[in-house]
Amino acid sequence: MATIQPFRALRPRPDLASQVASVPYDVVNRQEAAALAAGNAASFLHVTKPEIDMPADADPYSDDVYQQGATALRRLRDEGTLIRDAQPCLYIYALTWRGHTQIGIVLLASVSEYDANIVRKHEHTRPDKEDDRVRHMEILGAQSGTVFLTHRDHHAIATVVQAVTAAPPLVAFTADDEVTHRFWVVDDATQIQALIAGFAANGPLYIADGHHRSAAASRVAAARGLADAGFLAVSFPVSEMRILPYNRIVRDLGRHDAAGFLAAVGERFDVTPGKPTPSGAKQFGMFLAGAWHTLRARPGSWDPTDPVARLDVSILQEQLLAPLLGIADPRRDKRIEFVGGIRGDAELERRTGDGVAFALHATAIADLLAIADAEEVMPPKSTWFEPKLRDGLFVHLLE
């Protein structure tokens, strides 16, 4: 059902891959990116965060900054740091972190199928962030960031992946965050066709992360009149996806003091002392006034037939954050912070202060698929995917 295309990737010379590979542009600020790229001219952050090579007062959304990124990309090509495959290929990309491995296929997904919702979405996008990615693509003449997709497990796809990964990888390195990255080039015509056929028989693709990148690719293709354009993506099987919780901190208790707030919460949830043990759906850890409490949602307080309403993040929002703390729009309210589950409960304890923190159970991948299939939208900051992809390992040149 989904159409995938091989492509001629621009990718690092194997011995330089660990120097090129960088964290995604949107997980670091200018200062953090500059520190990570310091002393490393090969870092792909010179392409994706080009403001690090500009004066400190440079507007990161100015044409000069985008042009600096294009200059950095040309330099990496001219120096031979990045090389381009002579023929269209697919690629196998494996990430291993804390004993968990997920193996995906790097490909071009179809822009027209994105527009038709065969590549399915679960988030709204912001026009300003789309505009940024559109300008970056246009001025670079390339897609430098990989959209993170998932697909339902399929025997034909898995068979090719198993065969390819039986050989040693072309590239293998462990990054500073202890994630091991490996990739293989699939240049055998029979294997490429088997993967194409497998995806065609398998059903839709789902965006896990990268909604702004894929939306921008659609806009660029439309502006160029390219009906069969593809966008750079890597798709992992659903069974290998790992989602961590996305926790919440609210800076203050609004009209309540701590005792009054705890009493108000007790009118809506079953409350017991201590953290949830074990963690499970429909229950929340609440850190308030230096102590943990377990909140359990009461049956009947959510609609189990609604794929959005039954999410833990939705229950917390509708039953607590909005009515008790006045957080009506968590996307824009500056009183609320979102903390990726990778940081652990200690980060919530450290940052809560006079407010309140909530440790959530991770959203299930099945819920993400159900929401995308229903053409619904998840609440903001519902999922935190680990491990993260690295930028710079695969680049798609626009032609």
Q: What is the pLDDT of residue 228?
A: 86
What does DSSP assign to residue 239?
G
Q: Locate the domains of the chain by residue range.
A: 4-243+386-397, 246-361
User: From the CB of residue 255, how many other CB atoms can be counted at a distance below 10 Å?
Assistant: 11
Calculate the CA 224 to chain-centre distance: 27
Asked whether residue 331 carries a pLDDT value surpassing 90, the answer given is no
The per-residue pLDDT for range 118-151, each reduced to its tens digit, is 999 999 898 999 999 999 999 999 999 999 999 9
What is the amino acid identity at position 349? E
Work out the pLDDT band at 227, boundaries 50, 70, 90.
Answer: confident
User: From the CB of residue 288, how many other CB atoms can be counted at a distance below 10 Å?
Assistant: 19
Asked whether residue 252 carries a pLDDT value surpassing 90, the answer given is yes
Mean pLDDT (the chain, rounded):
96
CA distance 158 to 41: 37
Calculate the CA 151 to chain-centre distance: 15
CA distance 159 to 198: 10
Task: Look up tokens 């080009």; give the residue.
Answer: 50
Instruction: From 216, 90, 54, select the one nearest 145 (Cα to Cα).
Output: 216
Work out the pLDDT band at 189, boundaries 50, 70, 90.
Answer: very high
What is the amino acid identity at position 336? I
Q: What is the pLDDT of residue 277?
A: 86
What is the amino acid identity at position 368? L
Average pLDDT over residues 344-364: 96
Q: What percent of the chain has pLDDT over 90?
A: 93
Work out the pLDDT band at 303, boundaries 50, 70, 90.
Answer: very high
Q: What is the pLDDT of residue 14?
A: 97
Average pLDDT over residues 88-113: 97
CA distance 31 to 42: 18
Asked whether residue 192 carries a pLDDT value surpassing 90, the answer given is yes
Q: What is the pLDDT of residue 332?
A: 86
User: From the CB of residue 87, how many other CB atoms can be counted at a distance below 10 Å?
Assistant: 10
CA distance 8 to 105: 14
